[in-house]
Amino acid sequence: MPIQQIKSKELILQLQEIEPKFPPIRMAQILRISKQRVNQILIKYGTASRIYRYNICEICGKEHNRQSAFCSTECHDAEFKTIIKCAYCHEEKPILKSELHWRKERNELQYCSYSCRTKHFWQKRKEN
């Protein structure tokens, strides 16, 4: 049956059945109808009108529908954060890798907080 003779709602439902992640806007472009009409048909026949774009996480490889390149904050932190050990209290603290680079330019020792840095400074001063 030629495409012209098939109703747009039948084509939309067939496209949705073949590829569930197919976005309504692309269906509208292919069929040359408005995306609002596509959404009306999808809602009327009980299929999802909002189709999410799926991405693959750069760290773990999981499929996700976030706009970020990462699926979770853990994966984001794994890419952009590193862990330092405080020179005074020896606790570990996660910081941004860019911040670590900036800190190393200013000082060889790394601290978890301003108060630890100050305490260590006065401790070293008393020793001298």
Which structure tokens are listed for 69? Answer: 């390149």
Per DSSP, what are the bridge partners of residue 64?
55
CA distance 67 to 87: 38
Tell me how far apart the alpha carbons of residues 51 and 10 are, in angstroms, rounded to a whole number.
18
Would the pTM of this model clear 0.75, i.e. be above it? no
Mean pLDDT, all residues of the chain: 83
Task: Read off the pLDDT of residues 71-105 as tens digits, 9 standing for 90 and up.
Answer: 888 998 889 999 999 999 999 999 998 888 888 88
61: left (phi over 0), alpha (psi -120 to 50) or beta: left
State whether the Cα torsion 33-37-42-48 is positive or negative. positive
